Amino acid sequence: MAHVITGLCQDTKDQSCVEVCPVDCIHPAQSLDGDEAYEAAPQLYIDPDVCIDCGACVPECPVGAIFMQEDLAPEDEKYIEINAAYYRK
């Protein structure tokens, strides 16, 4: 199971989580994807196929937007698909 970034990240897009991720599974990030990709996205996303569930990102998120998939509130379960869909483009 991967970690998931929820809608709390929308329009905030703090990149502290990107800086601590040991496998670079959080995108779009300015340092990894460039300014244009970062600015075009409403939030950051975790690649469920790359995430190793280390949890390093969770305490770094200043808005509390990152959760283990199984800990999501029912209304936030849609973000499992939203995160995964970003990587299918």
Q: Where are the domains positioned within the chain?
A: 3-86
pTM equals 0.95
Domain 3-86 fold is Alpha-Beta Plaits (3.30.70)
Backbone angles phi, psi at 3, to 5 degrees: -80, 160
- Judge whether residue 3 has pLDDT over 90: yes
Portion of the chain with pLDDT greater than 70, in percent: 100
- Judge whether residue 39 has pLDDT over 90: yes
- Judge whether residue 47 has pLDDT over 80: yes
- Judge whether residue 52 has pLDDT over 90: yes
| d(C-alpha 30, C-alpha 88), whole Å | 20
- Whether 82 contacts 45, CB under 8 Å: yes
Average pLDDT value for residue range 25-54: 97
